[in-house]
A = this chain, B = another copy of it.
Amino acid sequence: MSIISNIERYISLTEKEQKAFETICEKRVVEKHEFLVEPGQNCYCQIYVINGALRSYFLTPEGEEHTIQFALEDWFISDFNSYITQSPASLYVQACERTEVIEIGYLEVEQLCIEYPVFERFFRLVAQKAFAFSQKRALANLGLSATERFLEFETQYPNIVNRYPQYMLASYLGMSAEFLSKVRKKIKGFEER
């Protein structure tokens, strides 16, 4: 699915508006393990995944990774706090496979919104949806055990579970990689009866 038809799930665009949007899109390919954003760095853009797999995470002072978000085909990802406040990033955005992306710069978006207010609407709807989603995640993680969190996540995002290494899933779900291994073993035991 193209980024334009993705946008048109929220709003409809004239020919001219489509063209205007396309001019601010920067297509790019990143190899596995490569970074699109690094802490402190000046990459103020949102990233749209055409195909491949990205994730965002941060490092604690002790060196532990904490995954914030996964992004497969047709998802947006970035250090959003850094993006909207236009300040240095605190997250990494990293390719977990070879990935084709579109980068959309902050200044370009703001300019586009001024020229074509229809995009103001689009980015409002996207931000609202993202917020609702983020609240839902926070909610899902409160009051569930590690096993329940994993089961919930697996049924909602089976393709993510299959595509990312387990230690990343563990760091997203808020448990150690070792423990997730034990959780999955226990689940498998139940299924086999």
Contact of A85 among B127, B130, B132, B135 (CB under 8 A): B132
Residues of B within 8 Å of A117, CB to CB, are 117, 120-121
What does DSSP make chain A's interface, helix, strand, loop or mixed? helix
Residues of B within 8 Å of A134, CB to CB, are 131, 134-135, 138
Residues of B within 8 Å of A174, CB to CB, are 141-143
Known contacts A68-B139, A123-B124, A127-B127; 13 further A-B pairs (Cβ under 8 A): A68-B138, A84-B129, A85-B132, A113-B121, A117-B120, A120-B120, A127-B128, A134-B134, A134-B135, A134-B138, A138-B138, A141-B174, A143-B174
* 29 intermolecular pairs with C-beta atoms under 8 Å apart: A60-B143, A66-B139, A66-B143, A68-B139, A80-B128, A80-B131, A80-B132, A81-B132, A81-B135, A81-B136, A84-B128, A84-B129, A84-B132, A117-B117, A117-B120, A117-B121, A120-B120, A120-B121, A121-B124, A123-B124, A124-B124, A127-B127, A127-B130, A131-B131, A131-B134, A134-B135, A138-B141, A142-B174, A143-B174
